[in-house]
Chain A
């Protein structure tokens, strides 16, 4: 049997010329090694089929003094319906956050934001907070929005949890909507909204185009009419001039006689 290191070097094309020639000479007389090399190559071919999923990454570093938005508290018992409803309500705000993971570089430290893509946002947000120092504040409107949203989410959650608890239902991690599903639905909502907006814009453009076309046709008709009148006037003048010339010629002819 061959040297294993030589076999590996052979199938990855990292043998020196001498090593390759030596191994080729061996393979000419060693069926076992030929089979083994063939099987290892086959395994390599299969490895090409293992592809990682395509995530939304978009990491970037942003200069600025702004600290991230305060972290929302962990909602260990968040029901799937509640999360979906919340996501739908904040879809426009969440869309931007979901689209990108964000690394902020402040004057005093680094800040990482991952948006709301994860069910257990607390872990990421906590880490985010831990990397943040006392850099500047979030715009007040953003802070207020988060506070209001947080308050609203709490209210909805309490309403949803009350009957569930009474029925002995416990929302566990198994019952929660998966992050991938959550992300997919939010994206769908964003896409639908964009499509509706695009459709509306298309209709408006169509109306404008129709009005423009109508105006164009009107203008052309008016212009043609005006041109016809002008041509009519011009022809009449020519006829008059021609008649005048004829009269002069005739008068001159009479005088010559």
Chain B
């Protein structure tokens, strides 16, 4: 039976590396995905994810469990992303792969999806990433935490150290901008129905 994060943290704090590795295995992809969506660069996102676990490991003794372990990891990740953005002095930009490999794509197609539909889905995904890249960092982060990590308004507020109303405002403004960006890119509401 899989152990809870809390149990694994306790074991890890007692020096059980296997337990910490289980935590790493459990959270490495969400952490990488968070970093990737915030800073938009694959290699740098991987570095951020790696550094997140390093810092978590170093600071594990001091983790008192006042927040969820995942929230603690998210906070470390977001701090590292913020550092990266300041260091690089550039706006996060989602990478758009050059060209489309149809052979590779074919392997990703769902049984009921044609290549044309799959290409369309990929194009839509790129349009979304471009729309997200336009957002200010605080709005983008709020949307990412809400949409892709399923945090509640309250959890986001605690993570970002801001009032609840600020989180809602950022989400509203961010979604509004994304919607307009997609409309400008010619993506309409029916695109998903095909």
Contacts and interface: CB of A to CB of B under 8 A. Distances in A.
Contacts of B165: 5
B29 A57 contact: yes
B129 A50 contact: yes
Contacts of B189: 38-39, 42, 45
B176 interface: yes
A12 B172 CA distance: 11
A238 interface: no
Contacts of A49: 121, 124-125, 128, 192
Given A4-B168, A5-B165, A46-B124, A55 B46 contact: yes
A126 to B, nearest CB: 12
Contact of B146 (A12, A58, A103): A12
Interface string A130-158: 01000000000000000000000000000
Interface stretch (B20-28, B70-78, B84-92): B20-28
Interface stretch (B3-11, B30-38, B61-69): B30-38
Contacts of B36: 52-53
A230 interface: no
B33 to A, nearest CB: 5
Contacts of A179: 43
Contacts of B178: 43, 46-47
Contacts of B146: 12
Interface of A: 4-5, 7-9, 11-12, 14, 38-40, 42-53, 55, 57-63, 101, 103, 105, 110, 112, 114, 118, 124, 131, 179-180
A16 B144 CA distance: 23
Contacts of B147: 44, 47-48
The interface centre, meaning the residue of B24, B175, B182 with most chain A CB atoms within 10 A of its CB, is B175
Given A4-B172, A60-B24, A101 B50 contact: yes
A140 B147 CA distance: 50
Contacts of B20: 61
12 contacts: A45-B189, A46-B182, A46-B187, A47-B132, A47-B178, A49-B121, A52-B45, A55-B46, A59-B24, A103-B53, A110-B54, A131-B54
A105 B57 contact: yes
A59 B28 contact: yes
B17 interface: yes
A21 B186 CA distance: 35
What are the 3 tightest A-B residue pairs by CB atom distance, in nearest-first order? A43-B179, A42-B189, A52-B36
Contacts of A118: 43
Given A44-B147, A52-B36, A61 B43 contact: no
B42 interface: yes
The interface centre, meaning the residue of B46, B169, B182, B192 with most chain A CB atoms within 10 A of its CB, is B46
Contacts of A42: 179, 189, 192
Contacts of B182: 43, 46
B114 interface: no
Given A40-B175, A60-B21, A103 B33 contact: no
